[in-house]
Amino acid sequence: MATVEARHISKHFDEVRAVDGIDLLAREGEFLVLLGPSGCGKTTLMRLIAGLEQPTAGDIVIDGRVVTDLPPRARNVAMVFQSYALYPHLTVAKNISFPLRAVGMQRDAIRKKVEWAARMFGIERFLDRKPRQLSGGERQRVALARAVVREPVVFLLDEPLSNLDAKLRNSARDELKQFQRVLATTTIYVTHDQAEAMGLGDRIAVLNQGKVIQIGTPQEIYGKPMDTFVATFIGSPPMNLVEEGASYVGFRPEAFLPREVGSSEDSVAFPFRVTRVEYLGADRLVYGVLEGRTAEAHVISKLPNNIRAEVVAGERYDFVVRKREIHRFDRNSGRHIDGRGDDDGNR
Amino acid sequence: MTTATANTFTAKAGWRTRLADNERLLWPLMLAPAILYIVLLVGFPFFLSLFYSVSDVTVGSRSMSFVGLENFRRVVATDTFWTALKNTLIFTIVSQVFVLVFANILAMSLSADFRGKWLVRLLILLPWVAPISLGAIGWLWIYDSIYSVINWTGQALRLLGPNEWPIWLGQPTLAMVSIIIVQIWRIVPLATVILLAGLTSIPQDIHDAAAVDGAGFWRRTLQITFPLLLPITLVAVLFGIIFTFTDMIVVFLLTRGGPYDQTQVLATWAFFTGIQGGDLAGGAAVSLFLFPVLVAVAIVFLLLARRSEVT
């Protein structure tokens, strides 16, 4: 258990600033998710923490100790790779015991530890098999067991669920969260999947172009996006943004409802011409244009199935949004302007 | 469907399209050159030498009769044959051991990133792409009894005594060392390229995982890289053994088997007996000694390679 801190860390590959002066603190025992589009620098940041990359500037601090100049093996971190990176020529038992043999642990102690880790992930049956004889889900468990076995101070997980099929991914996500709770080891988890990030993270750091844009709990990230990037990156479909003078007006599709269901004293009305309705089972997505505006304002409404109001393509309706669900962003900087989405000092 | 499409073309395009779609006609046609090549240039000489080895054929005579295993008995009875067999084994094993060591070092250094890498790669590949006769003539001068650059350098650096002038190709042990050095120089590039291909096929994640798992350079190399590289290493060694075992160019150009047949290998001895000595039957018998050994080597290595196959 330890804190992990990035102090103004940068990594440039020639001209590309993969990581551009990031300050970040993962608290003790915290599950911190690094979320961002591909190429945002999240994996590079994780590799910097692991010691697999040397920073161009800045420091990595683990448990209060500056480890920037230490090789990966001296940092006592464990990493699970997207490809799992199991050693293909070694049995599952040898794969799991590799980190222990590397530190020269006694054979008896190794055996006990391997059994403990294998039992934890339910892979005792596979100990004598080679990785190629395992399914994707089993390989992922072996990779986790290998990471857990030497009880590192930090777990680094690089999209460990992205090679699993959708059904397995849900149960694996659930298990992962439980293991982390039990072990209470500080965990940094990289993903581009917002559902994973929202479901797993104690806090989420949203990255874009090598910078941390916002860091906060899933509720804060979703409810108070700091700028238009976070607003449109999180949420599916993303937040609607409509030009209005020197600012953007933003509202979530699920907050944009027909007048008869959404109306209250503090709601704002928008005349809405529907162009297309998509039926998705649990909800309907209503695509359309806001009328009476200079620029074409395409917006989406997400209506859960319990809202039965009739919405037909080609018709014009009055839709409303509650005032407290409306966000305003500066048109130039993209930053939130009415104070509520401001930095809460949790960066 | 294919004929219908073909018919819509002009008559000239028609037969071409039909041929291109006719698999029954096409596969023998495509395979024919390869089969012809194997039969004429590999199969025919091989069976001819099998045939010669049990006859009493010579270059000068027209008659030929069956003599059974007489040629083999005669060849085995000579001292030169045993010297050649011993030399072939030493030549092959010693050169391959060094090739493996050097090729591994080179491949590992070349898989790292550094400036001017392409130039170093080019230089390392040069011995392989340059004609061996040119290279061997260069080596002939390097080993020359009077002009040897090694001797002059040794003298200048005082590594050799004032009257010490080793005759590289003239003293039995030195001559053997010399041809082994040239063979190493010649085979290393190929082995390096093969190992380099093997190294690049190991995913970077595996190296990273080992580094995070606490392995230092030696543990990573010995427990991860080498085992994963083993199948491809076996292929490189197999090539090296076969190229060295059957090779006569280096020995032929540098020492012609001398001094006093002390550097003779089976390939050169077969050539000197059969072609230059006119004893075709004896030469065929000598050269056939290579065959079972090579078959055995090939089988053993391919079996090993399959067993150690990974991923």
Strand order in the sheet with A211-216: A77-80, A154-158, A186-191, A31-35, A203-208, A211-216
User: Is the complex ipTM higher than 0.90?
Assistant: no
Query: Does B209 contact A at CB distance below 8 Å?
Result: yes
Gap between the Cα atoms of B181 and B173, Å rounded: 12
Closest CA to B71 of B88, B50, B48, B85: B50
Nearest residue of B to residue A157 by CA position? B209
Nearest residue of B to residue A81 by CA position? B205
Give the closest-approach CA distance of B115 to chain A in angstroms.
14
Which of B213, B218, B229, B311 to mutate to test binding with chain A, by most A CBs within 10 Å of its CB? Answer: B213
Residue A233 within a domain: no
The three-class DSSP label of residue A188 is strand
Residue B209 within a domain: yes
Residue A343 within a domain: no
The amino acid that residue B279 corresponds to is: D
CATH number of the structural domain spanning residue B238 = 1.10.3720.10
Note whether A214 and A243 are same-domain residues: no
Residue B182 within a domain: yes
Residue A231 within a domain: no
Distances (CA, A) of B237 to A64, B5, B105, B227, B291: 51, 51, 15, 15, 17
Question: Taking all residues of chain B, what is their mean pLDDT, rounded to a whole number?
Answer: 82
Gap between the Cα atoms of B92 and B243, Å rounded: 9
Note whether A249 and A218 are same-domain residues: no
Q: Any bridge partners for residue A283, and if so which?
A: A304
Gap between the Cα atoms of A253 and A236, Å rounded: 9
Nearest residue of A to residue B218 by CA position? A102
CB contact under 8 A, B227 and A51: no
**pLDDT for the residue A61:** 93
Q: What is the number of alpha carbons within 13 Å of residue B165 lying toward its C-beta?
A: 8
CB contact under 8 A, B213 and A146: yes
Q: Are B231 and B305 in contact (CB under 8 A)?
A: yes
pLDDT confidence band for A1 (50 / 70 / 90): low
The amino acid that residue B162 corresponds to is: P
The dihedral formed by the CA atoms of A83, A84, A90 and A91, expressed in degrees to the nearest 10: -130
The amino acid that residue B55 corresponds to is: S
Closest CA to B257 of B277, B238, B240: B277
Residue range A212-221: mean pLDDT, rounded: 93
CB contact under 8 A, B209 and A79: yes
Residue A229 within a domain: no
CATH number of the structural domain spanning residue A91 = 3.40.50.300
Residue B236 within a domain: yes
CA B292 to chain centre: 17
Note whether A122 and A183 are same-domain residues: yes
Note whether A153 and A293 are same-domain residues: no
Note whether A253 and A196 are same-domain residues: no
* Concatenated DSSP letters of A294-310: SS-EEEEEEEETT----
**Phi, psi dihedral angles at A320 (to 5 degrees):** -130, 155
Domain count for chain B: 1
Q: What is the pLDDT of residues A160-180, one digit of tens each?
A: 888 888 888 888 888 888 888
Residue A347 scores a pLDDT above 50: no
**pLDDT for the residue B11:** 52
Give the closest-approach CA distance of B240 to chain A in angstroms.
25
The amino acid that residue B163 corresponds to is: N
CATH number of the structural domain spanning residue A278 = 2.40.50.140
**pLDDT for the residue A303:** 92
Helix H or strand E encompassing B53: helix B44-53
Gap between the Cα atoms of A254 and A116, Å rounded: 46
Q: Are A226 and A335 in contact (CB under 8 A)?
A: yes
Q: Are B244 and B96 in contact (CB under 8 A)?
A: yes
CB contact under 8 A, A73 and B216: yes
Note whether A215 and A242 are same-domain residues: no
**Phi, psi dihedral angles at B90 (to 5 degrees):** -60, -50
Higher pLDDT, B174 or A242: A242
Dihedral sign for Cα A38, A44, A49, A50, please: positive
Q: Are B241 and B92 in contact (CB under 8 A)?
A: yes
Q: What is the pLDDT of residues B5-48, one digit of tens each?
A: 444 445 555 777 777 777 888 888 889 999 999 999 888 988 88
- Domain range spanning residue A98? 4-223
The three-class DSSP label of residue A222 is helix
Give the closest-approach CA distance of B238 to chain A in angstroms.
22
Residue range A13-35: mean pLDDT, rounded: 91
Distances (CA, A) of A127 to A47, A117, A119, B311: 29, 11, 11, 17
Please enumerate residues of A whose Cβ is less than 8 A from a Cβ of B.
47, 50-52, 71-73, 77-79, 81-83, 85-89, 98-99, 102-103, 132, 146, 150, 156
Residue A53 within a domain: yes
**pLDDT for the residue A339:** 52
Note whether A262 and A187 are same-domain residues: no
Residue A203 within a domain: yes
The three-class DSSP label of residue B306 is helix
Note whether A174 and A259 are same-domain residues: no
Residue B156 within a domain: no
Query: Does B228 contact A at CB distance below 8 Å?
Result: yes
Calculate Rg over the CA atoms of chain B.
Answer: 26
Q: What is the pLDDT of residues A61-95, one digit of tens each?
A: 998 899 999 999 889 899 999 999 999 999 999 99
Q: How many CB atoms lie within 10 A of CB B228?
A: 23
B7 by Cβ neighbours in 10 Å (0-12 / 13-18 / 19+) ranks as exposed
Q: Which residues of B touch A129 (CB under 8 A)?
A: none
Query: Does B227 contact A at CB distance below 8 Å?
Result: yes
Note whether A147 and A265 are same-domain residues: no
Q: Which residues of B touch A99 (CB under 8 A)?
A: 213-214
Closest CA to B49 of B265, B290, B251: B290
Nearest residue of A to residue B209 by CA position? A85
Pairing of strands A186-191, A31-35: parallel
A72 by Cβ neighbours in 10 Å (0-12 / 13-18 / 19+) ranks as buried
CA B264 to chain centre: 17
Q: What is the number of alpha carbons within 13 Å of residue B96 lying toward its C-beta?
A: 19
Q: Are A35 and A192 in contact (CB under 8 A)?
A: yes
Residue B86 within a domain: yes
Residue A72 within a domain: yes
CB contact under 8 A, A73 and B211: yes
Gap between the Cα atoms of B130 and B240, Å rounded: 17
Query: Does B164 contact A at CB distance below 8 Å?
Result: no
**pLDDT for the residue B12:** 56
Residue B28 within a domain: no
Residue A346 within a domain: no
Q: Per the structure block, which two tokens stand in for A310? A: 């009739």
**pLDDT for the residue A155:** 92
Note whether A244 and A216 are same-domain residues: no
pLDDT confidence band for A342 (50 / 70 / 90): very low
Give the closest-approach CA distance of B200 to chain A in angstroms.
15
A32 by Cβ neighbours in 10 Å (0-12 / 13-18 / 19+) ranks as buried
Give the closest-approach CA distance of B101 to chain A in angstroms.
22
Domain count for chain A: 2
- Domain range spanning residue B201? 81-124+168-307
Residue B218 within a domain: yes
Note whether A176 and A44 are same-domain residues: yes
**pLDDT for the residue B104:** 92
Note whether A82 and A208 are same-domain residues: yes
Residue range A256-276: mean pLDDT, rounded: 87
Gap between the Cα atoms of A22 and A6, Å rounded: 7
CB contact under 8 A, B311 and A85: no
